[in-house]
Amino acid sequence: MGNRMSVDERKNEILRILEENNAIRAGEMAARFGVSEDTIRRDLRSLADEGLIRRVYGGAVSPTHTSQVFADRLNESVGAKSAIVEAAVQLVQPRQTLFLDAGTTAAALAASLPNNIPLTVLTHSLPAAMALVGKPMIEVVVLGGKLLQISAAMVGTEVVSGYTQCRADLCFLGVTSVSAETGVSVFDFENAEVKRAMIGAAQQVAVLAAADKLGTNAPFLVGAPSAIDWLITDAPSNSSQVEAIRGAGVEVITA
């Protein structure tokens, strides 16, 4: 069936399958249509460029499949977040100044920071700040601005300026997409501005990203692969996406 289909027919069928299932895998689509995975990946790139799908590790999801609301995302990929956080904590050293991004993984990291070593943490995330309450050895600085309801975090020029005027030993960054070609990207313009400010004022940057975010792209670029020191992910260490990102010069920690 697949070999007799035109490219447009195959892409339309992919969209129909995605509408029914919310997620598809490139390997399954290649077998279904009798074409190579490279062909399917080209189809998915084209559909993503049109805004019709969102590419994820190994396939694609519908654009609204992953919730953008903080409360809803608390229950997404819980195991992956726990493993990533456990690995991320190992990078933290006493007396460091940390930048902590918004997002559920960063909030979980805040909750897991040791309370027996001195640290300074700057964050624009209300959940992350609240997770640090009760840890008296951690000095917490919350950067103010406009509250973005869906992420329970501040955005805007005040936040960007706040990060720009500080310096951190280590920045923990949550992202929407990571790829070896374009680096880190997100769906929101103001969010991208904040993350760029964080990267620019940090000595080292650790990106926290579950496997389904690897090899995908979002509209607003945060930083090239060269801006990342570590990628911490639950993807298999020998996966093609991990190998590609490692090949771009990023040290990958597989949780």
* Residue 65: per-residue pLDDT: 47
User: Could you tell me which residue, 176 or 159, shows the higher pLDDT?
Assistant: 159
Predicted structure pTM score: 0.74
CATH code of the domain occupying 70-254: 3.40.50.10470
Q: What are the tens digits of pLDDT across the range 208-255?
A: 998 888 887 777 899 999 999 999 999 999 898 999 999 999 999 998
- One DSSP character per residue, 145-169 reads SEEETTTTEEESHHHHHHHHT--EE
In this chain, the answer to whether the domains covering 2-61 and 70-254 adopt an identical fold is no
For residues 125 and 105, what is the distance between their CA atoms, to the nearest angstrom? 11
pLDDT level of residue 51 (50, 70, 90 thresholds): confident
Q: What are the tens digits of pLDDT across the range 71-99?
A: 555 555 567 789 999 999 999 999 999 99
Domain ranges of the chain: 2-61, 70-254
* Residue 91: per-residue pLDDT: 98
Q: Which segment of 104-108, 172-176, 208-212, 216-220 scores lowest on mean pLDDT?
A: 216-220
- Cβ–Cβ under 8 Å, residues 143 and 122: yes
Say if strands 230-233 and 251-254 run parallel, antiparallel, or are unpaired.
Answer: parallel
Say if strands 220-223 and 183-186 run parallel, antiparallel, or are unpaired.
Answer: antiparallel
Q: If 0-12 CB within 10 Å is exposed, 13-18 middle and 19+ buried, where does residue 181 land?
A: exposed
CATH code of the domain occupying 2-61: 1.10.10.10
User: Could you tell me which residue, 168 or 145, shows the higher pLDDT?
Assistant: 168
Check whether 1 has a pLDDT greater than 50.
Answer: no
- Token pair for residue 83? 């493993």
